[in-house]
Amino acid sequence: MANSTNTNPANVLNTYNTNITDSDKKRNEDVETQQNAASIIVHDTKKQVPTSLNDFSIVKDNAKNLTSFQRKKAEYFFNVNLDNENKKFVTWNDVEHYLLFHVVAAGKKGADNGELEARLSQTARALWEHIHDQVPLSDGKRDRLSLDQFLDTWASLIDYIVKHGALPGLIQNLVNLGFELYSTTAGHDKSPTIPASAFEQLFEKMNLG
């Protein structure tokens, strides 16, 4: 499977330093981060959202391996949740609108000074950047995500689940945040109403693979 050689999107908050020693140190840290699990540091918070980027390879044209049923499910998810205008692509604004819909539906708009909302956006953005790292558009732009990119990601996700019996860390982070979003308990130190492990059971029942 293909591995991304681009800069990890989780390292976007490191500040530029003109000092040679510090620059060398930063490069070493970047390499070490890419070899291990990366993390997104949410602005104005001390919390981190861990993301495993390197263990989820997205293979170009992998969508051709989808069964007819799998492809229909993937296209349905894309069209109903993101591309309701049938553009065959989505913008980041479309994704933000989708996330905002769930934040409002869960009654968490502005909760905790917007901290949960920020983490959700940051983690979704990390996945967006990872997809573009792995299966870039022909023009190299990152202002939109095509249906083809989404289908390749869906197919590669199925391959990952079949091989490892679990979700890749980057996807698992979104799942965990989703359950936290719809949790009815107060505070981040308490367990959500619905355990995140329930999602894996749902995946099995959906017969994604």
* CATH code, 9-206: 1.10.238
Q: What is the pLDDT of residues 159-192, one digit of tens each?
A: 999 999 999 999 999 999 998 888 865 555 545 4
Distance CA 152, CA 1 (A): 12
* Burial 82-120, CB ≥16 within 10 A → b, else e: bbeeeeebbeeebbeeebeeebeebebeeeeeeebbbbb
The structural domains of the chain, with segments of one domain joined by +, span 9-206
Does the pLDDT of residue 207 top 70, yes or no?
no
Q: What is the pLDDT of residues 86-124, one digit of tens each?
A: 899 999 999 999 999 999 988 888 878 889 999 999 999
pTM for the model stands at: 0.65
What is the model's pLDDT at position 50? Answer: 45
5, 130 in Cβ contact below 8 A?
no
What is the model's pLDDT at position 113? Answer: 85
